[in-house]
Amino acid sequence: MPIMRAMRPDETKIDLRDLTFDELKEFVREHLEEKPYRAKQIYEWLYRHGANSFEEMTSLKKELRLHLQAVASVDPLEITEILKSEDGTEKLQFRLQDGAAVEAVLIPNEGRMTLCLSTQVGCAMGCAFCFTGTLKLSRNLTQAEIVDQYRQALRHVGGDRAWISNVVLMGMGEPLQNLDNVVRACDILMDDNAYGLSARRVTVSTSGLVPQIRELQERSPISLAVSLNATTDEVRSRIMPVNRRYPMEELIRALEEFPNPRRARILIEYVLLAGVNDGLDDARRLAVIAGRIQCKVNLIPFNPHERSDFRPPTPEHVLAFQNILLNAGINTFCRQSRGQDIHGACGMLGKGAADGGEETRGTEPSP
Ligand code: SAH
Ligand code: SF4
């Protein structure tokens, strides 16, 4: 029975945010022996009104609320800290039920707000430039934990779903290693009866797990970003161990086959590391690769942190690199670093979990 997936081995209660709407209907019929409209009411309380307890679901009769309390849970993620950057970016630190910590980042930009969500506790991929990559993977986040980052961030900004216009799954973890929960969580984000985000405004970023990219293509219309970060196998394998398993040509071929007319263009992310992958030859090779894919290129100057010796190129060099791509007709933009002062920029998440912990960057991918 599908709803059993929502019951964790150590728990007797079903987390209702682990269910799709259809599964919730089944739960209401089979476990509560209630009419289907109750499922709609509960779903709306969860995702329209952001209820954090059954008590808040005041349109449900008292006996039903007590029954729900006995068999189900909607316990919110606990926000343990909110850090605000001088550029307006906010980092929310959450404590999960088992005590693990993850982070989400709210990034305001010209009247719009992007929310960056985590999908795993730590990350197994071990990319050499990434702070999160120094935290070994503890576990995947559940569907409920992914959705709840959004729910709690929305409550934090005032509760109106129009205020968060874009969601990127670019926080802690490799989302496609947690494909099932990511797809199901994004289905809730895109459901009109929940948050109603369009597939173009929900983007998942991967380090390049080829079989999972193909599976995503089958299962979800969400937009795809890929961290390419190098233009030769030699360099990419050195800074991203995943490349030893799925070399560049295999990855590029999967990306050539990925698009369809309803989907947003693929975003190719390219972290610029001075003296490593930022040569003007790299820019020319990147233009050739990008020319094969329906994509935009997003250059990301390296965000320095205490667990890496890489450096970002100078702004002038970034511009020279970008100009080569633009002159080759590739739509290329440079990501402004946001939230560096709160350890909240790209590749910097997990500081709360790391403090006091050992540094254990993986060297082999375990997709
Ligand atoms: N695991 C996924 C998504 C999270 S990482 C992925 O790798 O795609 C989000 C982005 O941050 C990736 O494009 C990654 O290459 C980039 N990144 C990691 N560490 C960085 C750093 N120190 N500075 C700038 N970008 C970084
Ligand atoms: Fe993991 Fe992405 Fe960081 Fe690589 S860049 S270690 S895949 S979070």
- The residue whose CB lies within 8 Å of the most ligand 2 atoms, and thus the one to mutate among 103, 123, 239, is 123
Phi first, then psi, for residue 326 (nearest 5°) are -60, -40
pTM above 0.75, yes or no: yes
Ligand 1 atom closest to Cα of residue 171: 4
Q: What is the pLDDT of residue 317?
A: 98
pLDDT of 159 > 80? The answer is no
DSSP state of 135: S
Ligand 1 atom closest to Cα of residue 312: 23
Ligand nearest to the CA of 175: 1
pLDDT of 218 > 50? The answer is yes
- Please check whether residue 294 is in contact with residue 266, taking contact to mean a CB–CB distance below 8 angstroms: yes
Percent of the chain with pLDDT over 70: 92
DSSP state of 93: E
Helices and strands per DSSP (H, E), number in the chain: 12, 14
- Compute, in angstroms, the gap from residue 234 CA to the centroid of ligand 1: 19
- The residue whose CB lies within 8 Å of the most ligand 2 atoms, and thus the one to mutate among 127, 135, 204, 209, is 127
CA gap 129, 348 in Å, rounded: 10
Question: Is residue 166 within a helix (H) or strand (E), and if so which, with residue range?
Answer: strand 166-169
DSSP state of 162: G
DSSP state of 22: H
What are the strands, taking DSSP E only, across 304-360? 332-334
Mean pLDDT of 26-44: 95
- Catalytic residue list contains 215: no
Mean pLDDT of 1-15: 64
Q: What is the dihedral of CA 15, 19, 120, 165, to 10 degrees?
A: -110
Q: What is the pLDDT of residue 4?
A: 54
pLDDT of 363 > 70? The answer is no
Ligand nearest to the CA of 350: 2
- Catalytic residue list contains 346: yes
pLDDT of 146 > 90? The answer is yes
What does the pLDDT look like over 57-87, one tens digit per residue? Answer: 999 999 999 999 999 999 999 999 999 999 9
pLDDT of 244 > 60? The answer is yes
Q: Give the least confident one: 80-84, 142-146, 210-214, 342-346.
A: 342-346
